[in-house]
Homo-oligomer: A and B are copies of this chain.
Amino acid sequence: MPKVTEEHRVARRAQIVAAARSCVIEQGFHKATMADVIAASGLSAGAVYGYFKSKEEIVAAIAEEALSNVDDLFETVLVTDGPLHPVTALEHVMNHIVTLAERPGGDVTRVGVQAWSEALRNPAVMEIAGGKYRMLRSRFAEVARRAQADGTIDAGVDPEHVAQVLFGFVPGFILQRLIIGDVTPESYTAGLRALLK
């Protein structure tokens, strides 16, 4: 297949996923229909069905995208030289989340929250969420190992357990930002600095 065609396919697929994401942000996974997605994408029904056979396949693609958004960040965070404090790593994650949330096209963290709920009753989304979150948590395990090597935290503790807690900060940040609304990376970092070693 010539390269331009593959690029075209990738771009078209992204266009459909973006349209579907905005439908989901407005209406939720359950109320958004294929017809809504087709209308929002500006493509023909035939074109959309050429990429996604059903709403379930689009839901899986949106969930995968929403849950992948934080993972790339660690490429940047973990390559830094010198000691990496867990609070610094979390501060990067929170700033990144707010940047993503404020991008034009709607707050992607709202899709993330819906993906959590969807995972509990849709095995395909559960598999995607489980895989993505295991991968993301393994990045936090790297942060934990770095902090143990730097002497910030006790080297005798299982880094996977530390990673559970570091990873576990993120949903609480997202949720409070959406539901209570007064949480910022600055306020959360102040709280983290008071609590963490």
Query: Are A180 and B116 within 8 A (Cβ)?
Result: no
The interface stretch among A7-15, A41-49, A159-167 is: A159-167
Count residues of A near B (Cβ-Cβ below 8 Å).
56
User: Digit string of A146-186 for contact with B (CB within 8 Å is 1, else 0)?
Assistant: 00000001100110111111111111110110111101000
**What residues of chain B lie closer than 8 Å to A187, measured between beta carbons?**
158, 160-161, 164
Q: How far is the CA of A194 from the CA of B155 in the complex (A)?
A: 9
**What residues of chain B lie closer than 8 Å to A144, measured between beta carbons?**
194
Which chain B residue has the least Cβ–Cβ distance from A160? B187
Query: Are A176 and B168 within 8 A (Cβ)?
Result: yes
**What residues of chain B lie closer than 8 Å to A179, measured between beta carbons?**
116, 119, 126, 129-130, 133
**What residues of chain B lie closer than 8 Å to A113, measured between beta carbons?**
116-117, 120
Q: A113-B117, A117-B116 are in contact. Are A191 and B172 (CB under 8 A)?
A: no
Query: Are A110 and B116 within 8 A (Cβ)?
Result: no
Sample of 11 further A-B pairs with CB below 8 A, known A157-B191, A164-B188: A31-B121, A117-B118, A126-B179, A137-B176, A162-B191, A162-B195, A166-B191, A168-B188, A169-B169, A169-B172, A197-B197
In the assembled complex, 17 residue pairs joining A and B whose CB atoms fall closer than 8 Å, in A order, are A28-B120, A28-B121, A113-B117, A116-B175, A117-B117, A120-B178, A133-B179, A153-B195, A158-B187, A162-B195, A165-B169, A165-B191, A166-B195, A167-B172, A168-B169, A168-B173, A194-B197
